[in-house]
């Protein structure tokens, strides 16, 4: 069965490629861009993440179509909830914004929210959404810590401006939840994906590979 990950996230692609239970399945990667600002809900970061993931699932579903049914597709969105207020911290646009995000998180606990959509074809495109939250503590950062994290570019493409599998890992501790949530997937979605793959409920078709 083909598993299509509609995400340009390096961490998501690396993670799913390394799972033993994916070894019998063909993984395909697609990039997909939507205007996420349209789906923001002020003061409610979990709802914003779910809205964005739902929009991504809708877009991916329309693009993939139902002619061929031997696939399951994934979309996902992740946001960091700032500790001082209910402000969503997404991917920094530049080094200055990354530094400001890291300063706001340093020495505090914060929440990371991920929502993953699983899209399957039948007579029509349908999808399920799964949400998870992880509580993370970032230790206090010195000026040299900040300089290293910013200048090396480890913040690029990472919600909140940090990479839990990169240089920032030494400054982070998970208090409640799963690391996979910080990496960008809902753990409940991955459990559901394993169920789908194990029973192989999707039928194969004869159309060309879908393109997002």
Position 22 in a domain = yes
Q: pLDDT tens digits, the chain, 212 residues: what are they?
A: 889 999 999 899 999 999 999 988 999 999 888 888 899 888 899 999 999 999 999 998 888 765 666 789 999 999 999 987 788 999 999 999 999 999 999 999 999 999 999 998 766 778 999 999 999 999 999 999 999 999 999 999 999 999 999 999 999 999 999 999 999 999 999 999 999 888 764 444 434 444 45
| Residue 151 domain-assigned (yes or no) | yes
pTM of the model: 0.88
Number of independent structural domains in the chain: 1
CA atoms within 13 A on the CB side of 124: 2
Distance CA 162, CA 170 (A): 11
CATH of the domain at 145: 3.90.950.10
* Contact status, residue 104 vs residue 170, Cβ threshold 8 Å: no
By three-state DSSP, how is residue 204 classified?
coil
Residue 206 lies in a domain: no
Range of the domain at 80: 2-199
Residues in the chain: 212
| 212, part of any domain | no
Please check whether residue 192 lies inside any domain of the structure.
Answer: yes
């Amino acid at each position: 069965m083909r598993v299509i990950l509609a995400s340009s996230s390096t961490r998501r692609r690396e993670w799913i490629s390394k799972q033993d239970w994916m070894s019998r399945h063909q993984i395909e990667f697609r990039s997909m861009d939507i205007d996420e600002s349209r789906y923001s809900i002020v003061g409610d970061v979990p709802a914003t993440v779910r809205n964005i993931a739902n929009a991504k699932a809708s877009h991916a579903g329309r693009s993939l179509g139902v002619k061929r049914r031997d696939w399951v597709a994934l979309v996902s969105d992740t946001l960091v909830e700032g500790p001082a207020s209910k402000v969503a911290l997404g991917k920094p646009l530049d080094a200055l914004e990354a530094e400001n995000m890291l300063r706001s998180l340093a020495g505090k606990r914060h929440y990371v929210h991920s929502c993953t959509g699983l899209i399957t074809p039948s007579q029509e495109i349908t999808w399920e959404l799964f949400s998870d939250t992880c509580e993370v503590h970032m230790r206090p950062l010195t000026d040299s810590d900040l300089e290293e994290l910013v200048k090396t570019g480890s913040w690029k493409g990472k919600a909140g401006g940090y990479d839990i599998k990169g240089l920032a890992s030494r400054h982070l501790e998970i208090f409640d939840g799963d690391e996979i949530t910080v990496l960008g997937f809902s753990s409940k979605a991955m459990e559901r994906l394993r169920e789908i793959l194990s029973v192989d409920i999707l039928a194969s078709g004869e159309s060309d590979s879908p393109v997002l």
